[in-house]
């Protein structure tokens, strides 16, 4: 039974770490490469346990640490209310995501793409995206594919496939 998670429609963009200050702001660890997207999100889904509510972001600024954002939600006006959100996951729907620059993809878009070499050999679907320091690596059952231009020749989300140029040693 293939494992389908809901991330295709719902993308984790941050986790509330703690209350910040006394006016109801929260410190959020942004899970995305684009913490600034919060300024554009009118509303995010806030999930705690099995509860999920839509909350409106009324303020957003960079946090003190790397990848942190300070958010203010409508209706959260004091430290106690903010502290109650601790540990909550912030999700956006796929429709709300900022469009990425050409050649950039969200991880959930890549999972399941069928990988084919330029010579037509099938390497199976992408099962995982590894974040390494240098570049992402797309994992299939048969190969580890570095996400670099010289290897990844085409990604076609509509058709559901990725075409790669195998480099020396890639398929050993």
Query: Where in the sequence of the chain do the CATH 2.40.30.60 domains occur?
Result: 6-95
Q: Tens of pLDDT along 81-127?
A: 999 999 999 988 776 776 677 777 877 788 899 999 999 999 999 99
* Residue spans of alpha helices (H) in 23-139: 79-83, 107-110
Query: Where in the sequence of the chain do the CATH 2.30.30.240 domains occur?
Result: 107-164
Q: Tens of pLDDT along 25-66?
A: 999 998 766 666 676 557 888 999 888 888 989 988 888 888
The continuous run of DSSP H or E covering 114 comes out as: strand 114-117
Residue 5: per-residue pLDDT: 41
pTM, full prediction:
0.56
CATH number for the domain whose boundaries are 107-164:
2.30.30.240
Domain 6-95 has CATH 2.40.30.60: yes
The continuous run of DSSP H or E covering 57 comes out as: strand 51-62
| CA-based nearest residue to 6, from 38, 50, 37, 40 | 50
């Amino acid at each position: 039974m293939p494992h389908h998670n809901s991330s295709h429609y719902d993308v984790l963009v941050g986790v509330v770490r703690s209350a910040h200050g006394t006016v109801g702001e929260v410190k959020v660890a942004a899970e995305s490469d684009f913490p600034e997207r919060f300024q554009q999100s009118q509303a995010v889904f806030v999930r705690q346990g099995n509860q999920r509510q839509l909350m409106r972001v009324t303020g957003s600024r960079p946090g003190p640490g790397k990848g942190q954002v300070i958010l203010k939600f409508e209706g959260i006006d004091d430290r106690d209310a903010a502290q109650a959100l601790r540990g909550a996951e912030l999700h956006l729907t796929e429709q709300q995501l900022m469009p990425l620059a050409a050649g950039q993809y969200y991880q959930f878009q890549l999972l399941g793409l069928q990988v084919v070499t330029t010579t037509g050999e099938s390497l199976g679907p992408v099962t995982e995206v590894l974040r390494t320091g240098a570049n992402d690596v797309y994992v299939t059952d048969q190969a580890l594919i570095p996400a670099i231009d010289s290897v990844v020749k085409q990604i076609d989300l509509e058709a559901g496939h990725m075409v790669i140029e195998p480099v020396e040693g890639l398929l050993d």
